[in-house]
């Protein structure tokens, strides 16, 4: 299979999936709620002063941590309202870049103490998070950063392929994308 055929095959498949179904839109709404609940969990950890956030968690760390978390709600929100995947891919890439910057910096200063992550949980549920250590999180964050970088390149590649495909062959049920 030639590179042209391979990319055309990917573009065709992804263009056919561009419009989200009602169920997929519902999934985007669920993602927004989950991210918001995670945001509230960490805000509550900070307000309750559980010890999860160390003294190194200053203004810069707060902006990077909460900012990247809150920005993570923006792409699913756009997909929910627009009902399209490809139009939101550039926003996904921006969010991924912000995440990589924030996560890299937060690994470097590491203003967390994961032994306190479960402090807000009832005693009977603390086992769910008690096993997580700082070292595990550093390794996980490092792995996730690499995956997000790869995903960002792929997402940008898909955006270009699908945009061009949709311009040449717009789906019959929707208006052509003007970009």
* 4-35 tens-digit pLDDT: 789 999 999 999 999 999 999 999 999 999 99
What is the structure's pLDDT at 62? 98
**Into how many domains does the chain fold?**
1
In a domain, 6, yes or no: no
- Domain limits at 89? 11-168
Question: What percent of the chain lies above the pLDDT cut of 90?
Answer: 89
In a domain, 63, yes or no: yes
In a domain, 120, yes or no: yes
Q: How wide is the angle at C-alpha 114 spanned by C-alphas 137 and 60, nearest 5°?
A: 80
In a domain, 175, yes or no: no
- Its pTM stands at 0.87
What is the rounded CA–CA span in Å between residue 38 and residue 22? 25
Q: How wide is the angle at C-alpha 105 spanned by C-alphas 103 and 109, nearest 5°?
A: 115
In a domain, 146, yes or no: yes
SS3 content of the chain, % helix, strand, coil (to 5): 75, 0, 25
In a domain, 115, yes or no: yes
In a domain, 51, yes or no: yes
In a domain, 1, yes or no: no
């Amino acid at each position: 299979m030639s590179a042209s055929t391979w990319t055309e095959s990917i573009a065709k498949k992804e263009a056919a999936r561009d419009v989200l179904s009602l169920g997929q839109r519902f999934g985007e709404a669920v993602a927004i709620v989950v991210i918001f609940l995670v945001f509230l969990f960490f805000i509550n950890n900070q307000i309750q002063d559980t010890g999860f956030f160390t003294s190194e968690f200053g203004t810069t760390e707060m902006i990077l941590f909460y900012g990247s978390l809150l920005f993570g709600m923006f792409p699913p929100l756009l997909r929910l309202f627009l009902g399209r995947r490809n139009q939101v891919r550039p926003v996904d890439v921006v969010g991924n870049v912000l995440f990589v910057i924030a996560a890299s910096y937060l690994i470097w200063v590491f203003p967390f103490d994961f032994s306190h992550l479960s402090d807000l949980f009832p005693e009977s549920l603390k086992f769910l998070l008690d096993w997580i250590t700082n070292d595990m999180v550093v390794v996980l964050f490092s792995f996730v950063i690499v995956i997000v970088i790869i995903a960002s390149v792929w997402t940008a590649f898909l955006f270009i392929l699908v945009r061009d495909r949709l311009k040449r062959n717009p789906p019959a049920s929707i208006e052509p994308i003007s970009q």
